[in-house]
């Protein structure tokens, strides 16, 4: 097996987040899925954008956010995802490359436009996401650079992109290429509604030993296993994946790796501003330690620190020197 060129290569949605604060009442008035993520069409994106207050635009996408955090923590990363050759596509491409991530997937010409996620943030910091996937949902297997896929120590996949047929085929092919090259597969379930739609696929991959590192939150774990009790859910999955990471928001997180269990409390912060990207950055922090062979407890601590940083401000990506922050928090 050749030495990997990259620590992490991710395949995911290429979207730009449009984030605005709002009152609780607006969530109900618009009939939104409070605290969740809903897929919408182009018309829905237009109408919701009109209902938003003053907003800010930042590049997002679950796996892309994780890569951004991992890159800022010193990992060598590459991203595979599809934008359109439009203004938001240029924004996304610039932001990825400016973060030190290799991103060379050819853009789509014409329609549909680059994806965008309209995020309404209520006073408690909870985010309600409404995503138009746009060009990203048409990522074909032919867009994969298989030599690139084989050159990453970890192939990181997001559940959100499992929903559309074309990128699902692309990810299945990428899994084959990565496993043939002896690489690890990391998978984030992304959202309970994705598990509702594709849980049989995910459970089959777990049973077949395809997934090496699984990231879930407490709700996703319950949906995946059918167990409402957190510990029962952990027990149902832990023996089937080499590394399981389950986050629990303010209750911290648990990881089990090869029979070893570790737990971490949530990092204290002065105020929760916006929870967008919390899970993504937890994964970034964890992977930044795991890729370097650090102890399981320290990998979790890295995840907690990264998640705390991102929920202390608007937007899904870090805004401070993450290496310095980790040095301060880890000692």
The full set of domain ranges for the chain reads 6-14+60-114+134-330
**Could you give the CA distance from residue 237 to residue 151 in angstroms, rounded to a whole number?**
29
pLDDT score for 22 = 94
pLDDT digits (tens, 9 = 90+) for 221-264: 999 999 999 999 999 999 999 999 999 999 999 999 999 999 99
pLDDT score for 56 = 85
- CB within 8 A of 87, min separation 6: which ones? none
Return the CATH architecture of domain 6-14+60-114+134-330.
3-Layer(aba) Sandwich (3.40)
Q: Are 132 and 115 spatial neighbours (Cβ–Cβ below 8 Å)?
A: yes
Beta bridge partners of 38: 130
- The closest of 295, 300, 205 to 246, measured between CA atoms, is 300
Query: Residue 113 phi/psi, 5° resolution?
Result: -75, 175
**Could you give the CA distance from residue 240 to residue 291 in angstroms, rounded to a whole number?**
21
**Could you give the CA distance from residue 328 to residue 326 in angstroms, rounded to a whole number?**
5
pLDDT digits (tens, 9 = 90+) for 267-319: 999 999 888 899 999 999 999 999 999 999 999 999 999 999 999 998 889 99
The whole model's pTM is what? 0.90
- Answer left, alpha or beta for residue 226, where phi above 0 means left and psi between -120 and 50 means alpha: left
């Amino acid at each position: 097996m050749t030495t990997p060129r990259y620590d992490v290569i991710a395949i995911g949605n290429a979207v730009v987040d449009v984030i605005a604060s709002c009152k609780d009442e607006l969530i109900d008035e618009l009939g939104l899925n409070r605290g969740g993520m809903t897929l919408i069409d182009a018309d829905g994106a237009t109408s919701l954008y009109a209902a938003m207050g003053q907003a800010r635009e930042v590049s997002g996408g679950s796996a892309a956010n994780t890569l951004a955090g991992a890159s800022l923590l010193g990992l060598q990363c590459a991203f595979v995802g599809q934008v359109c050759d439009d203004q938001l596509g240029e924004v996304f491409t610039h932001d990825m490359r400016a973060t030190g991530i290799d991103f060379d997937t050819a853009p789509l010409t014409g329609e549909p436009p680059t994806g965008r996620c309209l995020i309404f943030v209520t006073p408690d910091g909870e985010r309600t996401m409404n995503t138009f996937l746009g060009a990203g949902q048409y990522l074909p297997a032919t867009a994969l650079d298989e030599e690139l896929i084989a050159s990453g120590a970890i192939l990181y996949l997001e559940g959100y992109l499992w929903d559309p047929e074309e990128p699902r085929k692309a990810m299945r092919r990428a899994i084959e290429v990565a496993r043939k090259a002896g690489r690890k597969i990391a998978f984030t379930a992304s959202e309970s509604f994705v598990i509702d739609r594709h849980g049989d696929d995910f459970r089959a991959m777990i049973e077949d030993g395809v997934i090496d590192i699984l990231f879930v939150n407490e709700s996703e774990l319950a949906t995946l296993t059918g167990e409402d009790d957190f510990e029962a859910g952990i027990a149902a999955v832990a023996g089937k994946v080499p590394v399981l990471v389950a986050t629990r928001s303010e209750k911290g997180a648990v990881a089990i790796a090869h029979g070893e269990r570790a737990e971490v409390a949530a990092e204290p912060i002065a105020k929760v501003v916006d929870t967008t990207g919390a899970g993504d950055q937890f994964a970034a922090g964890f992977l930044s330690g795991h890729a370097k062979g650090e102890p399981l407890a320290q990998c979790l601590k890295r995840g907690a620190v990264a998640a705390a940083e991102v929920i202390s401000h608007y937007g899904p990506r870090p805004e401070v020197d993450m290496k310095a922050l980790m040095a301060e928090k880890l000692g």
